[in-house]
Amino acid sequence: MSIWEYANPKRFMQTSGHVLPWVSGLAVLSLATGLVWGFFFTPEDYKQGSTVKIIYLHVPAAMLAINIWAMMLVTSLVWLIRRHHVSALAAKAAAPIGLTMTLIALFTGAIWGQPMWGTWWAWDPRLTAFLILFLFYLGYLALWEAIDNPDTAADLTAVLCLVGSVFAVLSRYAVNFWNQGLHQGATLSLDKEENIADVFYIPLLISIAGFVLGFVALLLLRTRTEIRARRLKALQARERMA
Amino acid sequence: MLTARDLAVQRGGLPVLAGLSITLPPGQALVLTGPNGIGKTTLLRTVAGLQPPLHGSVTLPPEGAAYAGHADGAKATLTVAENLGFWARIYGTATIEPALEAMDLRALRDRPAQSLSAGQRRRLGLARLFVTGRRLWLLDEPTVSLDAASVARFAAAIRAHLAEGGAALLASHVDLGLDRIATLDLARFRAAPSAPAPGGFDEAFA
Amino acid sequence: MLTARDLAVQRGGLPVLAGLSITLPPGQALVLTGPNGIGKTTLLRTVAGLQPPLHGSVTLPPEGAAYAGHADGAKATLTVAENLGFWARIYGTATIEPALEAMDLRALRDRPAQSLSAGQRRRLGLARLFVTGRRLWLLDEPTVSLDAASVARFAAAIRAHLAEGGAALLASHVDLGLDRIATLDLARFRAAPSAPAPGGFDEAFA
Amino acid sequence: MVELGKYAGVVLAAYGVSLLLLAGLVGLTLWQGARTRRALDAQERRMAQDG
Amino acid sequence: MIALLIRDLRLAMRAGGGFGLGLAFFLIVTVLVPFGVGPEGTLLARVAPGVLWLGALLACLLSLDRIFALDHEDGSLDLLATAPVPLEGVVAVKACAHWLTTGLPLTLAAPALGLLLNLPGPGYGWLTLSLAAGTPALSVIGAFGAALTVGLKRGGLLLSLLVLPLYVPTLIFGAEVARRGAEGLATATPFLLLAGISAGTLALLPFAAAAAIRINLR
Amino acid sequence: MIALLIRDLRLAMRAGGGFGLGLAFFLIVTVLVPFGVGPEGTLLARVAPGVLWLGALLACLLSLDRIFALDHEDGSLDLLATAPVPLEGVVAVKACAHWLTTGLPLTLAAPALGLLLNLPGPGYGWLTLSLAAGTPALSVIGAFGAALTVGLKRGGLLLSLLVLPLYVPTLIFGAEVARRGAEGLATATPFLLLAGISAGTLALLPFAAAAAIRINLR
Ligand code: HEM
Ligand SMILES: Nc1ncnc2c1ncn2[C@@H]1O[C@H](COP(=O)(O)OP(=O)(O)OP(=O)(O)O)[C@@H](O)[C@H]1O
Ligand SMILES: Nc1ncnc2c1ncn2[C@@H]1O[C@H](COP(=O)(O)OP(=O)(O)OP(=O)(O)O)[C@@H](O)[C@H]1O
Ligand SMILES: [Mg+2]
Ligand SMILES: [Mg+2]
């Protein structure tokens, strides 16, 4: 059986209906565990004080924000090449989640920056790149909104996503070239020596898992809604023609 | 010259016409008729290759067809001669004189298109056909806004085109006064809406 | 209802028609005919008050006239009902139902105007007339793109309007099938280009 | 209650804003989902009746 | 008249109507400035009030051609001119709709963008106040410019050219209020002048604009 | 193809075609900047390269919707799509015409405007060079954005929203070249990167734009 079978709308509706409650349950569970653990039961950092607790929101949100765009890139490609409608609708469904994640990363970062760097905002490359990512999400969503015909909209936004991804990567390098940064380097490297202490690390991992599961649950929900909306539109049009 | 086999066309994601087959040999014209909104424009755009068919296939002559739609594609600030000259160069035609002659635009040749009346602008849009050098013409309500004399002149031009081995597919609500011409009433091919199957999410996607 | 006395109209600074007098009593319609470019659109715009006459005077009913030109004034993203409802509120008319009914737009009422076919959009443009509540209609080629059934329906609507004491001034190249209707051929009123007087710079300024 | 020290405001603000945004997204998703579902059901029922 | 306002707002909200786009443009221009002039905080703080005012002005400018051009193209303007509403009122209502969909959101969003440019503390209130007082003038002046260029295909750039010089006094006083506010100086005089400009243009320009439209329709 | 280039240039030259308007807009923005940020010479000199680049970018942006929208509205784009010319070529030619009527004049005029902003001596050459290398990329990226929004009524602002983020790398490298040049620093790296972006976009984006147009005409 090919994986593409799940790209069939009917099949997708059935499968996602079965999976959804489990994913949502797990998401709520791990998110609650990670955040509660991180918020209530971790010590303060010797340097950053209690502000380290922000990491449990900031890092998962930042990771998701980037990876959701990557996922949209993949689904857009699938739509352009294999023309599976679910794929296009999944990209559409993911964009608002990505936008929210970008906003969370930006807000928590800004709030964190105030005590750590003494400023809400600095034109650090990583932060700037995030702001640009935010603009890409905005443009992508605006294009979806602006076009009436759903297939045209899917095609054009997919093209935008492809071209935009190239430019997003370019912008990342450009921004790096333009200004040296204040922001932390990678903390989650595979090299154990450089990793942060386990007390912070384990709840962080749980909370990342919670964010990812939450994303999957929301994505499934939203994609189901999009499919229903498409069917509704088709039925309405058919009724008018009859 | 033109064959369409079991064609189904869509507009706004909805099937509009289905099960349509057309064969148009050289020297013949076919007039598409049908009430407003039946799908004449959609069909012509599909045949012209501007949108993909929902189903079936279209075969055009190797060099393609010349399409003239509801809009004329005339640039308001260019003169009549400049407008036509542009299309002539795009299609590699040497001269625009026959086209000006055919649509009686000689007197207007140096007038900017924005100062033309509705019918004069339409004549300019039709004159473009003569510089394409294409044998197959796809025309969407070509005689809109034309007066009786211009309609007759245009009908004569079409007759001449057919006599030279050309062909034309036209959508029109008015009688062009072309004799011995085939007519196809599209009302018969209206795509039938099927009743929705419960939970049938696949049908939503054409 | 409408009187125009010794009217001369201009377009692009040039006199187009001159010496025209029109009297249109209630209950009557007058069809303006003439070849393309004779000045029908210009005349109608002058009568509607959109441009000043070069000479002469126009008297309209006190509340003004309803004008429908080549363009329909429909907003692409608003639905048919929203488009009509807007004009109804502007003209202080309570309901759009009679207008929808008259132009057979019931089925299309919730469709955005951009998804209408050319003829359907034209019907929307004509339906606007019925919400203006004006007795004098000025119509510029109202039946363009309409199919035969719609033309008949529109002719019936005009007849009803006349029967209620309204009046209509129409420009049209096609026969509307209205009987007992007056026709005015504008060809007779083409403004004669006067020979230029040497050194007469005044004439350059109409 | 945990001891947040002098950064209490900052941490609470970060959590507050984030949870608010998340709640907004979830709420919007659920609301849109319910609305489309209702509309689709109504449409299907109507069309089933009409034949 | 209210029908017209409602229609214009509704059109702005519909797909492709462009509500929120002015805001997005404002955001982007603000973000681009540091890329152009470099990231130093002190430099940015000094130019911040001016840049924000310029950004708001450009965002207004870009949405101006919507005011009448679309209505002209599809023939609605002809129909409105023959409808039983005074053309002056039409202009005023359309300028108002433009302000509601552009100037107002810009004013509300400006403080957040001030943050990105390191705007000094006391500047936020004055920036918002000056924009609230100045953007109505931008909309009305813009409506006048749009009325002048309504007959032209893609009059957009010409419109910018005509309108920008007219915007200069508003910009000078507006930016002055914001700058003085940011530096903690007295702002009363420029603020009063700014408010005066807004009031004056609101009272007079609709008449000029209506006359321009009448001429353009001829 | 050459016929198309000639037609586009001729259209730009005709009344209302907008040739020179981009330039005028550039001029006005540059002139407005001192009003916004205050007249101190040193401050202006520091922001000059960035402001000039930003002004050029905005002037380009404003003329973008002319690239395809007019042709779409009057039906020419349909006709071009069925004509015996590849759509990719049409896009490339139109981007080229846009550059010739906007980017090139801007590049030539920039040094004169630099004077107004106290641009330091060595900056002039680098400013011109960076604009010459960067504006082609602006035109091509803009053509892509215009192709995406061609079916939309007044897609102008949406177009800005889509295109401006794509302009970021070009702006950064371009302004960096101009700024480093003005300060007498090494400019080789950003200049090469800038040229690379121009070359890359010129080679690839016409295909994406042609695909977008085909989708939009459907
Ligand atoms: C608006 C401001 C900020 C933004 C947009 C931002 C963005 C990001 C991004 C994109 C990541 C990378 C996530 C990943 O891919 O793993 C990240 C990680 C991180 N950020 Fe921020 N950040 C901001 C401010 C701050 C501040 C002020 C601090 C603390 C002083 C901070 C601390 C961290 C830490 C510790 C990580 C984890 C590093 C890693 O795992 O790679 N961030 N942030
Ligand atoms: N700017 C201009 N300069 C010179 N002549 C012009 C200008 N604008 C229009 N004309 C001419 O004015 C005449 C009147 O045009 P008008 O649109 O009124 O004609 P019409 O009778 O409505 O024609 P149609 O039946 O084609 O719609 C036309 O011959 C037109 O060419
Ligand atoms: N987005 C859309 N959604 C639903 N239906 C649409 C959409 N766009 C167009 N239609 C419908 O598709 C049908 C076909 O339109 P088309 O323009 O091909 O008709 P036509 O035969 O050319 O009519 P006319 O004689 O009026 O020009 C029309 O009934 C129209 O209302
Ligand atoms: Mg049609
Ligand atoms: Mg006419």
Q: What percent of chain C has pLDDT over 70?
A: 92
| Helix/strand/coil (H/E/C) assignment for every residue in chain C | CEEEEEEEEEECCEEEEEEEEEEECCCCEEEEECCCCCCHHHHHHHHCCCCCCCEEEEECCCCCEEEECCCCCCCCCCEHHHHHHHHHHHCCCCCCHHHHHHCCCHHHCCCEHHHCCHHHHHHHHHHHHHHHCCCEEEEECCCCCCCHHHHHHHHHHHHHHHHCCCEEEEECCCCCCCCCCEEEEHHHHECCCCCCCCCCHHHHCC
* Arithmetic mean of pLDDT, C86-94: 87
Ligand closest to D7 (CA) is 1
Report, as an integer, the average pLDDT of E106-117: 87
How far apart CA B79 and CA B76 sit, in angstroms, is 8
Phi, psi of E74 (to 5 degrees): -90, 10
Among residues B173, B197, B200, B189, the alpha carbon closest in space to that of B9 is found at B189
**Tens-digit pLDDT profile for residues A198-212:** 667 788 888 999 999
Tell which one of C9, C42, C45, C169 to mutate to probe ligand 2, the residue whose CB is within 8 A of the most ligand atoms.
Answer: C42
Q: Where residue A191 falls among pLDDT bands split at 50, 70, 90? A: very low
Q: Is residue A3 part of a domain?
A: no
pLDDT value at position F26? 85
**Mean pLDDT throughout C125-152?**
89
Residue A193 has a pLDDT of 44
Structure tokens at C169: 């001034």
| pLDDT digit string, tens, across residues B103-151 | 889 999 899 888 888 889 999 999 999 998 889 999 998 888 888 888 8
Contact yes or no for C56/C4 (Cβ under 8 A): yes
The pLDDT assigned to A91 comes to 94
Q: Which residues pair with C29 in a beta bridge?
A: C168
C165-176 pLDDT, tens per residue?
Answer: 889 998 988 877
Q: Which ligand is nearest to the CA of C51?
A: 2
Interface residue A119 vs chain D (CB under 8 A):
no
Contact residues, F window 189-218, toward A, CB-based 8 Å cutoff: 189-190, 193, 197, 205, 208, 211-212, 215-216, 218
Query: What is the domain-level CATH number for residue A180?
Result: 1.20.120
Residue B113 CB–ligand 3 contact under 6 Å? no
Query: What pLDDT, on a 0 to 100 scale, did the predictor assign at position C15?
Result: 86
In this predicted structure, the answer to whether residue F132 has a pLDDT above a threshold of 90 is: yes
Closest approach atom of ligand 2 to CA C42: 18
The answer on pLDDT for C132 being more than 50 is yes
C19-42 mean pLDDT: 89
pLDDT > 70 in chain E, percent:
95
Mean pLDDT of chain A: 84
Out of B55-69, C78-92, D9-23, E59-73, least confident range: E59-73
Predicted pLDDT of residue F182: 84
Q: Mean pLDDT across the stretch F92-108?
A: 91
Q: How confident is the model at residue A68 (pLDDT cuts 50, 70, 90)?
A: very high
Closest CA–CA distance from residue D45 to any residue of chain B (Å):
9
For residues B206 and E183, what is the distance between their CA atoms, to the nearest angstrom? 62
With a 6 Å cutoff on the Cβ, whether C112 touches ligand 3 is no
F155–A159 C-beta distance less than 8 A: no
The ipTM assigned to this model is 0.84
Question: Which residues of chain B lie closer than 8 angstroms to C123, CB-CB?
Answer: 36
Phi, psi of A22 (to 5 degrees): -65, -50
User: How far apart, in whole angstroms, are the C-alpha atoms of residue F123 and residue E183?
Assistant: 31
In this predicted structure, the answer to whether residue A17 has a pLDDT above a threshold of 90 is: no
pLDDT band with cut points at 50, 70 and 90 for residue A103: very high
Output C189 or F206, whichever has higher pLDDT: F206
Examine the pLDDT at F117 and tell me if it is beyond 90. no
- Give A53's DSSP letter: G
Q: Ligand 1: which residue has its CA nearest to atom 11?
A: A62
- pLDDT confidence of residue A189: 43
- Provide the β-strand partners of residue B82: none
pLDDT grade, residue A157 (50/70/90)? very high
Angular region, E86: left φ>0, alpha ψ -120 to 50, beta rest? beta
For F162, which of A143, A162, A171 is closest by C-beta distance?
A143
φ, ψ (nearest 5 deg) of residue B153:
-60, -40
Q: What is the mean pLDDT of residues E134-139?
A: 91
Residue A192: predicted pLDDT = 44
F186 pLDDT band (50/70/90 cuts)? Answer: confident
Of A3-12, B48-57, B58-67, B161-170, minimum mean pLDDT range: A3-12
A50 within ligand 1 shell (Cβ under 6 A): no
In tens, the pLDDT along E161-184 reads: 788 888 888 888 888 888 888 888
Measure the CA–CA gap between E213 and A139, rounded to whole angstroms: 34
Say yes or no for a CB contact (<8 Å) between B86 and F4.
yes
Q: With 60 as the cut, is the pLDDT of residue A1 above it? A: no
Higher pLDDT, B202 or B206: B202
**For the residues B27-44, what does the mean pLDDT come to?**
90
Span F104-117, average pLDDT: 88
Mean pLDDT of chain E, nearest integer: 84
Cα separation of E161 and E43, whole Å? 29
What was the pLDDT predicted at F65?
75
* Residue contact C36–B144, C-beta within 8 A: no
Q: Percentage of chain F with pLDDT > 90?
A: 32
Tokens matching residue F218? 């459907």
Predicted local distance difference test score (pLDDT) of residue C204: 52
Range of the domain at A202: 17-241
A122 within a domain of the structure (yes/no): yes
Q: What is the pTM of this model?
A: 0.86
pLDDT score of A153 more than 60: yes
Is residue E124 very low, low, confident or very high in pLDDT (cuts 50, 70, 90)? confident
Question: Is C187 a residue whose pLDDT tops 90?
Answer: no
The 3-class secondary structure across E72-141, one letter per residue, is HHCCHHHHHHCCCCCHHHHHHHHHHHHHHHHHHHHHHHHHHHHHHCCCCCCHHHHHHHHHHHHHHHHHHH
Would you state the pLDDT for residue A165? 93
Question: What pLDDT is stored for residue F134 in this prediction?
Answer: 92
- Name the domain count of chain A: 1
pLDDT digits (tens, 9 = 90+) for E7-24: 888 887 776 666 777 888
How many Cα neighbours within 13 Å face the side chain of A228? 22
Residues 133-192 of F with CB under 8 A from A: 144, 148-149, 151-152, 155, 158, 161-162, 164-166, 168-169, 172-173, 176, 189-190
- Give the SS3 label for residue D4: coil
Q: Looking at residue A180, what is its pLDDT?
A: 67
Q: What is the mean pLDDT of chain B?
A: 86
Q: Which residue of A134, A170, A176 to mutate against F (max F Cβ within 10 Å)?
A: A170
For residue B180, name the pLDDT band (cuts at 50, 70, 90). Answer: low
Q: What is the largest CA-CA distance in chain A?
A: 72
pLDDT digits (tens, 9 = 90+) for B74-83: 888 889 999 9
Q: How far is the C-alpha of A182 from the C-alpha of E14, rounded, in Å?
A: 42
Q: Report the candidate in B206, B205, B195 with the shortest Cα–Cα distance to residue B54.
A: B206
Distance CA C6, CA C54 (A): 10
pLDDT of residue F13: 78
Q: How confident is the model over A69-87, as pLDDT tens digits?
A: 999 999 999 999 988 888 9
Taking contacts as CB-CB distances below 8 angstroms, the residues of chain A near D38 are none
pLDDT at C75: 84
Task: Take residue B87 and report the two structure tokens written for it.
Answer: 């299309």
